[in-house]
Amino acid sequence: MDKKQQAARIKRIVDTIAERATAVPAAERSVYIQEEVAKVREAFRQTYEADALLAAYAMEFVDSMTGWINARVHALETERTRVELIREQAEVDP
């Protein structure tokens, strides 16, 4: 897997977790994200266990994922709120 493929894979993982996290109540979301990142960490650990250097790089990515996921959740929720406001405004304006 080259760097572009790896970056695309990580983006898909972040996007998937973030999308699913938006369906989790806000009070439980942090725990949900932590659990999902722990699963990714374990999967990456197994994938890269034969190469210590690659494993270290993979863990750096995983360490950053929580922040990326939270940012993506915020973006998704902001976008949805904006769309809802536009729809509401369209219903009010004849």
Residue positions counted in the chain: 94
* Structure tokens, 32: 């949900």
**Global confidence as pTM:** 0.81
Residue with tokens 């760097």: 3
First vs last C-alpha separation in the chain: 54
**pLDDT tens digits in sequence order for the chain, 94 residues long:** 677 887 788 899 999 999 999 999 999 999 999 999 999 999 999 998 999 888 888 888 899 999 999 999 999 999 888 888 788 788 876 6
